Chains A and B, each alone.
Chain A
Amino acid sequence: MKYFTSSLFLFILLMALPGYALPDNPKKHTISGKVTDKSDGESLVGATVFIKELKTGTTSDQYGRFSLTLPEGQYTIMFSFIGYTSSVQEISLDKDFTLKIELSTEQKELQEVVVKSDRYDQNVVKPEMSVFKMDIHTIQKIPALMGEVDVIKAIQLLPGVQSVSEGSSGYSVRGGAPDQNLILLDEATVYNASHLMGFFSVFNNDAVKDVKLYKGDIPANYGGRLASVLDVRMDEGDSKGFEVNGGIGIIASRLTIEGPIKKERSSFIVSGRRTYADLFLPLSSNKALQNNHLYFYDLNAKINYVINDNNTVFLSGYFGRDVFSNQFAKMRWGNGTGTFRWNHVFSKKLFFNFTTVYSDYRYLLGTPSGSSSSFEWNANLRDLGMKGDFSWYLNTNNTLHFGGAVTYHMINPGTASGIGSETVYSSVQVPKNYSLESGIYATNEQKIGPHFIATYGIRLSLFQSLGPGTVYHYTPNHIVIDSTVYKPWIVYNTYGGIEPRIGLLYDFNGKSSVKASYARTYQYLQLAQNSSAGTPLDIWFPASPNIKPQIGDQVALGYFRNFRHNTIETSVEVYYKWMQNVIDFKNFAQLLLVDTLEGQVRTGRGYSYGIEFLVRLNEKIVSGWVSYTYSRSFRMIPDIEPNPYPAPYDKPNNISVVLNFQLAKRWSISANWVYATGAPVTFPTGRATIAGKVIPIYSGRNAYRYQDYHRLDLAVTFSSKQKPNRKFSWDLNFSVYNAYNRHNTWSINFVQDNIDPNITYAEKIYLFGIIPSVTFNFHFKHHE
C-alpha cells in the first residue's frame, strides 16, 4: 500500500513535468494575484482570467487567488465575473507580476460596452462537469416558502436533484440517498441541514456568499460521501466600510452587521436569525397551544485577517438551535461548526491552505421533570479535523492539487435516563463509538494541445474504528451471538479505499465542448433512517466489522455549448452510477436507542442512470434556468425484496423552470415551476382483520406511485431607487408558494372508518395549499 501510494504520487508528478522540461521554451513568467469586489473587498470565487492573445485562461480559486505562467510577451488580460464590470489589463510580461484586481458591480448603463465574445466561459472550457454554482444573489431571487429564501430549496431545483419529500431539506442527487451528500459550511461538515423539520435549512442567506454543488466528477480533495458535495462558503465581511443588512418576514427576521476591523486588512461579519411564529401562540384560543414553543435561531460569525500579501487567516463559526416544547414534551436540536483557516502563499506558483474544523450536531428529547414519566434523551455527533491543501501552478499546462485530511469522529448514539425523583425510568446508554477517517490526494489538471484538458487524480482513504467500542457478533440471520469490548485507542477495524477521479475535456474553439468523467467514492459514515422526510433524531453510524463501506462509481458524458455571446449556456449530460454495500433496514426496524442497530441493517447494491438537459440564461432581462431530467434509480437488496425495486427517490421525469425577469429598474418578477413524477410508494393489495382492526396486506416494495408533483411559485420584488453613493436601500418582496393551490401528496394513509369499522378508505395528506407572504429587506452601507 505504502509503495503503491508513493509511486502513484510520483506518477502524477512525472505526468505533470514534461511542460517544465522542454529545453527551447522561451523564458516564462508568472502572473498571480487576487480578484476582489471593489465595493467591500471580498474575494471573488471563480472569477475568470482570460488571456486574449492566447485564448486561454484560468479561474480564481475559493479564496479569489489565481496564478498563470506564460511565455514572455505583450498580453491583454481580461478579468471578469458575472454581475461585475470586466477589467482589462495590458501587460508587458518581462518579469513576474502580482496583481490586485478589483471588480465593481455592473452598472446597467455600462453593460453594452463590455465585449462579451471574449469572455472565457467556464461552462464550456473549464474542465469540470456535473457542477452547479450559484451566488447568493441568484438564490435570493427565487420565490420561497413563507418568503424565506433558502439555499437547500434552491439546490432542489437543479437538474439531477430531487427533494425527498415536500418541504424537506433532504435531497437526493442522481438517485443517491440523502445521507450520501456531503454538506460543508466553510469546510466543516453539517450533519443535519434542517430547521423546523426541514422547512428551512441551516443556511442564513445574509451570511452565505456562494454555493457549489458537485453531482458527480467530485474533485479528489473531497471524500467521504457517495453522491455529491455541497460546498457552502460564508461571507467574509466588508473590509472597506460598515454594512447593516436585514430582513423582516412573516415568520422570521434577520440582521447582519459587517465591517472592517482594520481597513482593507481585516473584516468581520456577524449574522443572526430567529423565527417568531410561536410568539403568537399565546394569543391562540386553543388552550393546548398557548404554552407551546416552536422556534429556531442561528448565528454566523466570521473574522478575516490579511496579515500580509502571503498570509491570510480566518475564523468562522456557526451555531443554531431548534427549540420545541409544550406541557408534555421538549426537544432541542442543532449544529455548531467552527473553522480556522490559514492561506499561505509559498511562492507565486505554490499556494497552501491549512484548515482546522470542528463540527457538532446534537439533540435532546425529553419530558418536563416532576412526573413519573420524566426522562431526557441526549445524543450527539462531533468531528474534529485537520486539512492541508496545496495548489501548485506548475507551468502553463499543469496545475497540481494535493494534500491530506484527517478527522476524528465521536458519536454518542443516545443516552436516555429518567429525571427527577418521581421518575420510573432508569438510564440506558447505547455504546458510543469513535473512529478516525483520513485521506490523501493528488490531482493534476493538464492541457494537452490547444483543445484537450485532462484532469486525473486519486484519493486514498482510510477508516479506522477506535476503542473504546463494543462490537456485536451476528449470525447470518442477524441474530446477536455475543459481543467484544475494545479498550480505548485500540484500532479494532480498518478499511481503505482507492478512489480514482478522472475528467476529460475536448474544446471546439471555445464555443462548445465535450466532457467525460469517472469518479469512485467511498462512504464510511451513514445515517440510520428509514423514514422518507427524516427527523432531527439522526443517528449516524460508521463502517465497522459488521458494516462495509459504501462504494460508488459514476461515469458521465456531456456536451456543453454556449450561445449569444455566452449569455445562454446549455448542456446535456448522461450518467450511470453503480453503488455497492448500500444500506436499507429490515421491516419494522427500531433505530432509536438500540445497541444492535447493525443487526437491522440490510445491504445490497444499487444503480441509477439519467440524462439531464439544462439551459441557463444570463441575459440582461431574463436570468435563471430551465432543465429537464429523465432518471431512474434502483436498489437490489435481496433481504428486502427478491427483485430490484425503485429507490424512494426514483422520479423519472423532472422539469424545473426557474426564471427571473427584470421588468424595470425597480421591478422584478420571479417564477419557478417544478414537475416530478410521483414518488414510488408501497400500497396494500389486500386486507385482514385483527383484533378489530383492518390491517393492509402489501405486495412488492414501491410498486405504486403517488400522483405527479407540480407546483408554481411566484415573487415580485420592488426595490428602492438606485443612486450611486446612496447609503440606505431596501426592497419589498411579495411571494406566493404553490400559486395554483395544488394539493400535492405528502403521504397517503389507509384509514378505518370510525362508524363502520368494516369500511376502509384512502386519505391523502398534503402539507401546503397556496401560501402568500411578504418580506421587507433593508441594506445600509457606510463607506468613508
Chain B
Amino acid sequence: MNKLLFSLLILLLATGCTERINVNLDNSYVRLVVDGGITNDSMQQSVILSKSASYFYNQPPPMVSHAIVTLTDGSFLDTLKEDLPNNPGIYGLAKDFRGVIGKTYSLDIKLPEVIGNNAEYTSSCKIMKVARLDSIQTEFNPDLGKNGHWLIKIYAQEPGDEMNFYLLKYYRNGVLMSDSIQKWSTSDDKYFNGSYIRGLTAFYINNSRTWETLHPGDTVMVQMSGITKEYYDFIQQVQQAGYQIPFFSGPPANVEGNISNGGIGFFTAYSNSFAKLIIPKK
C-alpha cells in the first residue's frame, strides 16, 4: 500500500528528465545464482542454476550444467534432472512430485567446478499454508491513467493465526501474464490479519499496454501463494533492485536470499490457491 502511494508521488513529483549515460564499473568475482522452487501442486518443480556476470554483460546469463542437485526433507527424496540438451541449467523434479504443507525442504547443490570459492551450496524453505481464495472480480476504471486501468480484486478469509505472506500472479486465457518478478504482487496480512479480505486490489493493469491488458470474454485466473517471510522480503528487494529514488530509497544493497556460501538467489517452496472468472460481455 505504501509502495502504491510512493509510486504515485514519484510520478507526480519526480518531474526530472532522464538520459542514458556511460558508467565505468569494476568487475567483482563470479557467484552462483539459484532461482526456482517447489510447490504443493503441479505449478513449479524446478530450479535454474546460473552464474553472475559483469554488469554490462548484455547476454543471457551463463548457465551452470552438470551439477548434482538433490531434494531432501530430512531424508533423501529425489535428484533433480537437468533438461539437456534443450534447457541447460534447468533442473526439474519428477512430474508427479508434490510438496506437503508444513514440511521444510532442503536443496543441495554439488557443482562440477568451483564457483565463488565453493562447489557445494545448500538452501532450505518451508511450505506455508495459504488462505483459500474465494473469488475474484475485475473492474475497469477509465479515470486511472490515459486509457484507464483494469483492476483485479480478490476475496478471501484471512486465517489470522500468525503473520502470513502472500504472492499473487494472474493468468489471461491460461497464459501467465505475471511472467517476470516485476509483475508479481505481494502482501502481508498486517492490515487485515484475521479479517475477511473483501476486494483487495491485487493488480492494476494499464490498458495502454495492449499486450497484457484484459478484454470482456477473457478468462482471468489468480494464483495466490502462501510464502515465507524471507521469500516475501526477497521478492520486494528484487523488485526494487537497481532503482534509486533519493526521496524514498535506502542505500543500494545486495538482495538477501537463502543460498549458503555466498550464493545469490532463492530456493522457494510454497502452496497455491486459485480463483477464476470470465469477464462478462456488456
Contacts and interface: CB of A to CB of B under 8 A. Distances in A.
A and B are partners in one complex rather than unrelated chains: yes
B17 A688 contact: no
Given A416-B191, A531-B248, A765-B18, A592 B253 contact: no
B229 to A, nearest CB: 12
Interface stretch (B53-61, B106-114, B217-225): B53-61
B248 A760 contact: no
Given A691-B35, A691-B180, A750-B55, A683 B50 contact: no
B256 A587 contact: yes
Contact of B252 (A533, A696, A759): A696
B12 A294 contact: yes
A327 B30 CA distance: 47
Given A690-B33, A699-B28, A425 B247 contact: no
Contacts of B31: 686, 688, 697
A13 to B, nearest CB: 50
A287 B146 CA distance: 7
Contact of B53 (A288, A326, A687, A693): A687
Most-contacted residue by chain A among B2, B179, B195 (CB, 10 A): B2
Contacts of B146: 286-288
Interface stretch (A49-57, A135-143, A741-749): A741-749
Interface stretch (B70-78, B96-104, B198-206): B198-206
Nearest to A692: B180
A747 B246 CA distance: 7
Contact of B250 (A531, A697, A768): A531
B162 interface: no
Interface in B102-138: none
Instruction: Give chain B's interface residue range (CB within 8 Å of chain A).
Output: 35 or more
Given A426-B195, A587-B256, A697-B28, A688 B265 contact: yes
B266 to A, nearest CB: 7
A493 interface: no
Interface in A262-291: 286-288
Contact of A699 (B26, B201, B239): B26
A701 B251 contact: yes
A104 interface: no
B21 A764 contact: yes
A597 interface: no
Interface in B1-52: 1-2, 4-5, 8-9, 12-23, 25-31, 33, 35, 50, 52
Contacts of B161: none
A762 B21 contact: yes
B278 interface: no
Contact of B193 (A426, A534, A701, A748): A426
Nearest to A687: B55
Contacts of B201: 372-373
A698 B191 contact: no
Most-contacted residue by chain B among A687, A694, A767 (CB, 10 A): A687
B19 A758 contact: no
B121 to A, nearest CB: 14
A761 interface: yes
Contact of A422 (B2, B9, B143, B199): B199
Contacts of A762: 20-23
B197 interface: yes
A418 interface: yes
B254 A697 contact: yes
A324 interface: yes
B172 interface: no
Most-contacted residue by chain A among B16, B58, B145, B237 (CB, 10 A): B16
Contacts of A426: 191-193, 195
Nearest to B200: A424
11 contacts: A424-B195, A531-B245, A531-B247, A684-B25, A685-B55, A687-B52, A687-B53, A688-B50, A696-B241, A758-B59, A766-B18
A322 to B, nearest CB: 11
B58 A197 contact: no
Contacts of A689: 33, 35, 50, 60-61
Most-contacted residue by chain B among A327, A424, A691, A748 (CB, 10 A): A691
Interface of A: 165, 168, 197, 286-288, 292, 294, 324, 326-329, 331, 365, 367, 372-373, 375, 416, 418, 422, 424-426, 428, 530-535, 585, 587-589, 592-593, 648, 682-699, 701-702, 704, 743, 746-752, 757-769
B218 to A, nearest CB: 22
A589 B20 contact: no
A311 B56 CA distance: 72
Contact of A766 (B16, B54, B193, B264): B16
B192 A422 contact: no
A56 to B, nearest CB: 50
Contact of B200 (A327, A373, A588, A766): A373
Given A693-B181, A749-B242, A685 B25 contact: yes
Contacts of B249: 531, 747
A288 B191 contact: no
B66 interface: no
B3 to A, nearest CB: 11
A226 to B, nearest CB: 21
B129 to A, nearest CB: 20
Contacts of B17: 743, 765-766, 769
B242 A750 contact: yes
B211 to A, nearest CB: 11
A373 B190 contact: no
A683 B192 contact: no
A481 to B, nearest CB: 17
Contacts of B180: 691-693, 757
A750 B58 CA distance: 13
> 5 smallest A-B Cβ distances: which pairs?
A692-B180, A587-B253, A533-B246, A691-B181, A530-B250
B276 interface: no
A73 to B, nearest CB: 62
B2 A760 contact: no
Contacts of B255: 690, 695
Interface in B54-93: 54-61
A252 B153 CA distance: 42
B238 interface: yes
Given A292-B12, A530-B251, A531-B248, A685 B27 contact: yes
Contacts of B56: 760-761
A375 B265 CA distance: 34
A533 B247 contact: yes
Interface string B140-166: 000111100000010000000000000
Given A688-B33, A746-B16, A763-B19, A588 B242 contact: no
Contacts of A424: 191-192, 195, 197-200
Nearest to A530: B250
Nearest to B250: A530
Contacts of B253: 587-588, 682, 698
Nearest to B57: A687
Nearest to A753: B58
Contacts of A692: 179-182
A749 B28 CA distance: 19
Most-contacted residue by chain B among A686, A758, A759, A763 (CB, 10 A): A686
Given A688-B265, A750-B242, A764-B21, A375 B1 contact: yes
B31 to A, nearest CB: 7
Contacts of B236: 588
A168 B14 CA distance: 12
A609 B219 CA distance: 65
B173 interface: no
